[in-house]
């Protein structure tokens, strides 16, 4: 009986010791519990972004238990009660609650397919310098902001957003012309027209031929002959008067006149004419990149409108008209959209003393570099006219026929060429000042007085604006495997 009492006492003692031992273990062990949903909504104390397979290591001192919201997104393990290791498993967002002696901490973990810092560096490398794009990492995503510097950078950004649709966010703006402090383009226009005329007149030109006329009447009969190949000698009152012919009288009261007049004019033609008319139009258009500018060098033709009052006139401009839209990129490559219309007065085809217009129109898009001249258009017009006069049949004899005919040959050649030279500059820089000084010098050499020109004072830009930083923005990171920030201290 006493033995049973002793055994029962020992059993109770062992149970008490076991409970005490379990309580001691519970006070030192760290538990990791997994709950599919958070116990309560709480603003996270810290946020971290990691990629799939990447780990974050924190100091585990004072950590007693860890709770994971979505275990399929990330995993958390405590190693040797000294380190807390968080590993990304698949893209998504989850929370990790950490309990310790100093209270509770909540971490927001974003798991992405690619590390945002590495992706940002990759984006900067793909875009290269001069893109005008600011690359930043915000909450695990790469943000692209700023003004795109050209078409090639725009295509690169579109490719990156397609490759990383959920990680690269495009907030950039794009204009046809990349503007840095209102970049300007000065376009020099050279229009050259050469009109060449070649004329030769060869052969033998015959004048009047022999003519005979009979006239009946009394007194002197005036006879005339023309100055070219006319119908011979005829009575009349125009032309050249011949000497009075000899009169033959016979019969009663009848006076008759008979004249036989011979007149031959022969001219040897060896006429050769060469002529050149040179027209050069040079103008300069200054405009902001991406804006359309127009230039007109010529005049205005006033045409009266039929059916209206005499004061109703329609204005038709003529001369050289040019519209240019320059588009540039960061490397000063220039794309020019050119519309050219050149017209001149044609008095040979005038109607009611109103001359006609001869037109040449060109519409083109060219690509060149700043300071490089480009030939936009060239045109050559040939007009040949030939006519001959001579004796019938005799002028057709080979070789000898040139003694009885004359040929007039006219050849007209009209050549047009349009050259354009763009120059890119910014107001206030050295190129701008040199350009203005050159124009002033040319005007003074042409007769302008210094007081006739505007007074342009140098303006200090004050250093200008700072260039865009393409390497700004860093995401919060818990560090790599070697970084161990304390969560509970």
Scanning 110-215, the segments in alpha helix (DSSP H) are 116-127, 151-163
User: Tell me, what's the pLDDT at 338?
Assistant: 87
Scanning 347-428, the segments in alpha helix (DSSP H) are none
Q: Spell out the residues 6+ positions from residue 69 whose beta carbon is closer than 8 angstroms to its own.
A: 35, 36, 37, 38, 94, 95, 96, 97
User: Tell me, what's the pLDDT at 214?
Assistant: 46
Residue 31 has pLDDT above 60, yes or no: no
CA 433 to chain centre: 25
CA 25 to chain centre: 77
SS3 30: coil
Do 133 and 157 form a contact (C-beta atoms < 8 A)? yes
Q: Spell out the residues 6+ positions from residue 20 whose beta carbon is closer than 8 angstroms to its own.
A: none
Average pLDDT over residues 225-230: 47
Percent of the chain with pLDDT over 90: 0
Average pLDDT over residues 251-277: 48
**Confidence band, pLDDT 50/70/90 cuts, at residue 473:** very low
Encoding tokens for residue 339?
């519309």
Percent of the chain with pLDDT over 70: 62
> Where in the chain are the domains?
46-112, 116-175, 185-219+250-300+312-449
Do 58 and 29 form a contact (C-beta atoms < 8 A)? no
User: Tell me, what's the pLDDT at 48?
Assistant: 82
Beta-strand relationship, 168-174 and 184-206: unpaired
Q: What is the pLDDT of residues 108-137, one digit of tens each?
A: 888 877 778 888 888 888 888 878 888 988
Residue 461 has pLDDT above 70, yes or no: no
Q: Spell out the residues 6+ positions from residue 305 whose beta carbon is closer than 8 angstroms to its own.
A: 312, 313, 314
Average pLDDT over residues 56-74: 81
Among residues 340, 237, 227, 234, which one has the least CA distance to residue 283? 340
Residue 257 has pLDDT above 50, yes or no: no
| DSSP3 helix / strand / coil % (the chain, rounded to 5) | 15, 50, 35
SS3 187: strand
Do 62 and 489 form a contact (C-beta atoms < 8 A)? yes
Number of neighbouring beta carbons within 10 Å of residue 164: 19
User: Tell me, what's the pLDDT at 17?
Assistant: 56
Residue 194 has pLDDT above 60, yes or no: yes
Q: Spell out the residues 6+ positions from residue 398 whose beta carbon is closer than 8 angstroms to its own.
A: none
- Alpha-carbon distance of 217 to 486, in angstroms, equals 145
What is the residue-averaged pLDDT of the chain? 69
Average pLDDT over residues 197-216: 56
User: Tell me, what's the pLDDT at 258?
Assistant: 45
Maximum CA pair distance of the chain?
Answer: 210
Most confident of 193-202, 238-247, 361-370: 361-370
Among residues 407, 410, 386, which one has the least CA distance to residue 395? 407
User: Tell me, what's the pLDDT at 202?
Assistant: 61
Encoding tokens for residue 89?
């498993």
User: Tell me, what's the pLDDT at 29?
Assistant: 44
The CA distances from residue 11 to 2, 25, 52, 208, in Å, are 14, 21, 53, 164
Encoding tokens for residue 257?
């006149």
Name the architecture of domain 46-112. Answer: Sandwich (2.60)
Among residues 246, 264, 263, which one has the least CA distance to residue 255? 246
Its pTM stands at: 0.43
Average pLDDT over residues 180-208: 70
Identify the weakest region by mean pLDDT among 193-197, 254-258, 447-451.
254-258
User: Tell me, what's the pLDDT at 182?
Assistant: 57
Q: Between 210 and 424, where is the model more confident?
A: 424
SS3 244: coil
SS3 453: coil
Residue 203 has pLDDT above 80, yes or no: no
**Confidence band, pLDDT 50/70/90 cuts, at residue 173:** confident
Average pLDDT over residues 139-145: 85
Q: Between 169 and 278, where is the model more confident?
A: 169
Scanning 128-239, the segments in alpha helix (DSSP H) are 151-163
CATH code reported for the domain at 116-175: 3.30.1340
The CA distances from residue 249 to 32, 246, 311, in Å, are 158, 10, 70
- Alpha-carbon distance of 114 to 122, in angstroms, equals 11
Do 360 and 368 form a contact (C-beta atoms < 8 A)? no
User: Tell me, what's the pLDDT at 196?
Assistant: 79
- Alpha-carbon distance of 334 to 376, in angstroms, equals 14
The CA distances from residue 428 to 81, 180, 373, 388, 439, in Å, are 66, 13, 24, 67, 16
**Confidence band, pLDDT 50/70/90 cuts, at residue 16:** low
User: Tell me, what's the pLDDT at 482?
Assistant: 41
Residue 90 has pLDDT above 80, yes or no: yes
Average pLDDT over residues 206-210: 49
Ranges assigned E (strand) in 207-312: 211-216, 223-225, 233-235, 240-241, 247-249, 255-261, 266-288, 293-304
């Amino acid at each position: 009986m006493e033995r049973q009492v002793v055994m029962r006492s020992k059993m109770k003692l062992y149970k008490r010791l076991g409970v005490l031992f379990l309580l001691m273990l519970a006070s030192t062990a760290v538990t990791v519990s997994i709950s599919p949903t958070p116990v309560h909504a709480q603003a996270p104390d810290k946020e971290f972004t990691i990629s799939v397979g990447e780990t974050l290591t924190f100091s585990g001192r004072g950590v007693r238990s860890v709770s994971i919201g979505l275990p399929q997104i990330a995993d958390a393990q405590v190693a040797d009660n000294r380190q807390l290791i968080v590993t990304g498993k698949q893209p998504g967002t989850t929370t990790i609650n950490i309990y310790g002696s100093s209270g509770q901490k909540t971490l927001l973990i974003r798991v992405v397919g690619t590390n945002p810092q590495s992706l940002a560096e990759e984006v900067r490398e793909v875009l290269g310098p001069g893109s005008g794009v600011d690359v930043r990492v915000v909450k695990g995503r790469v943000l692209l902001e700023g003004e795109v510097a050209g078409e090639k950078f725009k295509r690169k950004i579109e490719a990156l957003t397609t490759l990383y649709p959920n990680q690269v966010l495009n907030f950039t703006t794009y204009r046809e012309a990349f503007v840095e402090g209102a970049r300007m383009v000065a376009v020099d226009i050279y229009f050259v027209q050469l009109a060449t005329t070649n004329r030769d007149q060869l052969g033998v030109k015959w004048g009047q031929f022999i003519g005979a006329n009979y006239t009946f009447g009394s007194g002197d009969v005036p006879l005339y002959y023309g100055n070219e190949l006319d119908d011979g000698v005829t009575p009349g009152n125009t032309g050249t008067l011949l000497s009075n012919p000899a009169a033959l009288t016979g019969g009663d009261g009848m006076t008759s006149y008979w004249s036989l007049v011979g007149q031959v004019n022969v001219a040897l033609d060896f006429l050769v004419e060469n002529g050149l008319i040179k027209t050069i139009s040079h103008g300069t258009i200054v405009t902001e990149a991406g804006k359309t500018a127009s230039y007109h060098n010529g005049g205005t033709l006033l045409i009266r409108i039929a059916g209206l009052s005499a004061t109703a006139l329609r204005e038709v401009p003529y001369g050289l008209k040019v519209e240019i839209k320059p588009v540039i990129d960061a490397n000063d490559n220039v794309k020019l959209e050119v519309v050219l219309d050149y017209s001149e007065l044609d008095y040979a085809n005038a109607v009611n003393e109103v001359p006609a217009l001869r037109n040449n129109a060109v519409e083109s898009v060219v690509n060149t570099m700043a300071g490089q001249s480009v030939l936009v258009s060239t045109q050559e017009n040939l007009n040949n006219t030939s006519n001959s006069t001579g004796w019938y049949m005799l002028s057709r004899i080979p070789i000898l026929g040139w003694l009885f005919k004359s040929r007039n040959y006219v050849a007209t050649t009209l050549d047009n060429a349009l050259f354009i030279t763009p120059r890119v500059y910014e107001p206030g820089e050295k190129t701008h000042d040199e350009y203005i000084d050159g124009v002033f010098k040319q005007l003074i050499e042409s007769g302008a007085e210094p007081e006739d020109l505007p007074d342009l004072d140098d303006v200090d830009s004050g250093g200008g604006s700072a260039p865009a930083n393409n390497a700004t923005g860093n995401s919060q990171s818990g560090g790599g495997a070697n970084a161990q920030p304390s969560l509970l201290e």
